[in-house]
Structure 1
Amino acid sequence: MNKLFNSFMLAFCLMFMCPLYSQINKAIYSVSINNKEDIDKTSPYNSYYKIAQENSNQFTFHLIFSKDSSDFFINDNLEMEYHSFKMVKAFSRYQGFVRKTKSKTFIEKEIDNKTYILEEKTEYNWTLTTETKKIGSYNCYKATAEKTIKNKIIVPITAWYCPEIAYQFGPNGYGNLPGLIVELQIDNVIYGLKSINFDDNTIKFKEIDFEKIISQDKYDEIIKEKMKFILDE
């Protein structure tokens, strides 16, 4: 009798637990681009930056996530003038479509109308703090890290994550924290959570052709050859 009861209870628990672990959720983020003190006010760069700042509030970013992986991408605003759209993408530190698992990050790159999947090996050494902040209805904790880009510039990263939302993902490929990232600041750019919808059966993960995966070294080689071709023309 005990064995039968135990088997029944196991089946009962699994029936209710499986949807929890397989459910797909969607979070929507806004982006704001703050002023930078080191911008040369007389350069064309500054005017492009202003365009990005003025139009960033017209865009949202989607994070599709489950227990094991996430997709992050910009929600294309078809009513936005193309030049302004490009400026927002360029200055919001948006990497492009990002597929993230708990151990790997894949970024979709397009070169000459060809799509490549770049496997990024960068992991951030988060420093967890006891500092808290209420963001909307969420109690969030602060974590910090740094990212070094190719010209040796160090970019500060600040994440506010919510342990109540026990998913280790966030905007732009950042994650691996003890909760969903509700607010992410990359230097002067801030991604902020606008809304979240749990167990949304109307959404699904994007299908990725993993045969197109290339390494960072291979990607750099392609870019180098492309630049060489342009300079030789």
Structure 2
Amino acid sequence: MKSLVLVFICWFISFNLFSQESFESGEVIYSVKIASKSNFENPLKRNDFNGFRKKMDRFSETVSYRLKFNRVSSLFSVNLDMTLEKEESFSKLAKVLTKSDHVYFVDFRKKTLIEQKPFFGEDFLVQSSTSDLKWELINETKVIGSYTCYKAKVKRKRSGPYKGEDAYITYIAWYCPTIPFNYGPFEFCNLPGLIIELSIKNRIYRATKVVLKKEEMKIQKPSKGKLVTKEELESIGKKAFENR
């Protein structure tokens, strides 16, 4: 508990020092690494998995993500160099697994998230609240690059017919209190510092470049698609699935 108090003291001090530096915005580049390992007993299945894993590793090397932010909002999107475009079926699956066709906009003042995403052949802007991220701050630190980061985790319920522990996914974040912007990859935000690393299942998103700016960067809100809530999108998906 004492260490968590120190986190907030550190954040408060760094925020004041940071404010004196007058940084108004910034940009982060994240790389993604697929961390899964084969555990198939069947040699044929193991070979198939290893082949897929090698393709995913090659694909992940071509992908990076950009987070742009200022004091009131952020935008997270992909930088994609498709070297595997010839393998169309694999490319589509890889895009789904890495969410490389989604855009995430966070409004810090309104505590809202807008996710721009394709769904059943259409584009949607899915609006939700960022307040459902009930982070647990953990007494653990590690150095990532030149940043001392603190650990946090959040457990969220999965959609679908899952039961018990399988019904939840635990996300692990490492955030840096000395960079007091409350943003991170995808929809993950609201920590007392910038998220430098995020683990989602077998994928690790890690900041490879952080640039802070004294001038305010303009963040453009995504506008491609129909504005809906999560519940409305689920209803649309259910009807589309039934019609098919």
Q: Which residue of the other structure, out of 129, 134, 138, is the alignment partner of 2:143?
A: 134
Query: Does the 8 A contact of 2:102 with 2:118 survive in 1?
Result: no
TM-score scaled to structure 2, two decimals? 0.75
Larger RCO of the pair (alpha carbons < 8 Å, separation 6+): 2
Q: What aligned pairs does 1:111-150 form with structure 2 within 5 A after superposition? A: 111=119, 113-121=121-129, 123-150=132-159
Change (3 A) 1:57 1:50: same
Gaps of 5+ in 1: 1-16
Return 42-51 or 62-71, whichever deviates more.
42-51
Flag structure 2 segments of 5+ consecutive residues without an equivalent.
1-18
Aligned to 1:91: 97
The normalised TM-score by structure 1 is 0.78
Instruction: Compute the displacement of 1:94 (Å).
Output: 5.5
Distance 1:49 1:150, change over 3 A: farther
Give the Å deviation of 1:18. 11
2:236 counterpart letter in structure 1: I
Aligned-residue offset at 1:44: 11
Do the aligned partners of 1:48 and 1:87 also contact (CA within 8 Å) in 2?
no
For 1:149 and 1:44, the matched residues in 2 are separated by: 29
Is 1:29 matched with 2:43?
no
Looking at CA atoms only, which structure, 1 or 2, has the larger radius of gyration?
1
User: In terms of mean alpha carbon deviation, does 159-168 or 47-56 score higher?
Assistant: 47-56
Matched, 1:107 2:115: yes
Distance 1:79 1:50, change over 3 A: closer
- Pick closer, same or farther for the CA change 1:79–1:104 going to 2, 3 Å: same
For each residue in 1:142-189, what CA deviation from the matched residue of structure 2 results, as whole angstroms up to 9, or x when unmatched? 111112111332111111000010000001110100000000011211
How far apart, CA to CA, are the structure 2 residues paired with 1:65 and 1:93? 20
CA spacing shift, 1:202–1:144, aligned 2, 3 Å: closer
> Residue 71 of structure 1 aligns with which residue?
75
C-alpha contact 1:52 1:87 (8 A) present in aligned 2: no
185, 189, 194: which one pairs with 2:203?
Answer: 189
- 1:80 and 1:198 mapped to 2: Cα distance? 33
Q: CA RMSD in A?
A: 3.1
Alignment match, 1:154? 168
Moved more, 85-94 or 164-173: 85-94
